[in-house]
Amino acid sequence: MASLGSTWEYKTIKLKLTGFLGGGVDQEDLDKELAEAGAEGWELVTVMVAALYQGRTKDAVAIFKRPGGESVR
């Protein structure tokens, strides 16, 4: 766990959604992406869905963080 005053690095991964309204995701690909990020020390913070016209979605963006190298004083 990072201490108070620590800096963070951030990483995003764009996830392609599938299905008629874009509500689906390839579970195998998602699991692979999450496992790779976790092995590199990244912690998933949130997933944001990019809404398009009339409720259709095309992509989701997974946002990760991990402690950076320098502390803020």
pTM tops 0.95:
no
- Domain spans, the chain: 6-71
Q: What is the mean pLDDT of each run of 10 residues along the chain (73 residues)?
A: 76 82 76 94 91 70 88 54
Phi, psi of 3 (to 5 degrees): -85, 165
* pLDDT value, residue 72: 52
